[in-house]
Structure 1
């Protein structure tokens, strides 16, 4: 059984031979782990070249995950975060229009990614801070869910697994993100935001795979290899029973995390992840 087999079984909430490991690598590590030319500017024509390279190198051996967004982060970049949230009140028609334009753009990228050979789509919008969502639940449903439904339906229609990422304290939104979107997996249950991945699996594990959640804010940047091993052992042993679990950090492997600590997490995952 290889990495692709393990990942796809876990996303189907079945039991592989060992817990699969998934990670988002910061650019500082991509060149060390996957040598080659830098990733292209997402606005350039070569946006999908890195995906083509990953398919060429890893198709059938690793689960290939292509990240998209939908209808929050990039509109807020254009308008400014505060102005964009004020638009929810002052200019709702504009918000709906611009959100759909962005979502339809990512819809096209999803179908293109599927044609190239991606296995999974990860929708990567963050809707929450460490204390809760950036907007009310009613505004989230009105302005954000339509775009999320566009990309999730595109992924399903293209035959791809759909992973929903969102940092922060996400509990108020999980019924929407997991229930309504029918996400195959939720990532990452950020512990410093009060997200308990065990509880997420208890509540939603019959509907989705959980991915997470080794702390990347302090433990992975500054912890010892023994501390990382202990955290991985606890997380894996608590979440692997019954399948439907994938080990990862609590967000991504960012520039403050040394490669040796990433490797310590992977080694521990392989040691304690066996079923």
Structure 2
């Protein structure tokens, strides 16, 4: 168990600066602005485990926590890779209460601490899921030199050509209107909380029953932050965010975030490589963890 913990870091535990062991990377070539789908790489876990060890930083979505990556983290650890899965503020087992988190930047502080601890000459593969794409975008803007590739998994993806405000408007138009038993309390202290039926039918519909049960036990109320720190026009810039290689993973059976909306976000970010996960709902780290694992390792090998 000690060797596992040495590679798998939940940085919610008072956030000590981790002793990061990363693969040194020199190249960070940008892709041409073409939109292509790639099939699952033809490689086995045994083949991948012989590759150089990488560091994956996994960022969860709204109301979730680092726990949501447990299957993917196990696969990555088993192949010798290092994983950091921080709980963002007031998520997972992070000690802050939701009412104590007032801005998007405060919400993202645990991720920023992980990124600050990465040595200047080393890089990580940064992966964001759902609303975690916004947190990943902030990290790209602040630490572009420490990221070999940013991967957006069925995630919100702002870009220099597509602002947060534009994305929000598109999501309001496209995303399902039936939230079932989830609650969205509007107002100055807007709070969202998932209901079990909404999770089961609109997010986890292709996941194992035990994963649905786990989610209903561990999700916490969350805030979709719309303060000036994230909605300003220069939230992402070409110089920083735009210099990082980007990959979008489309989950083609997603109900919460429809396939066409995911594709639209990728297309609105020129130079983004796009991969489609067939048969994946909006929680691919749980519904198709081995397929997602294969793609992430392939990405890590190509973007060094």
Determine if the TM-score, normalized by the shorter chain, exceeds 0.5. no
Structure 1 or 2: larger helix share? 1
Q: Please indicate the TM-score interval, normalised by the length of the shorter structure.
A: 0.3 to 0.5
The TM-score with structure 1 as length reference comes to: 0.36
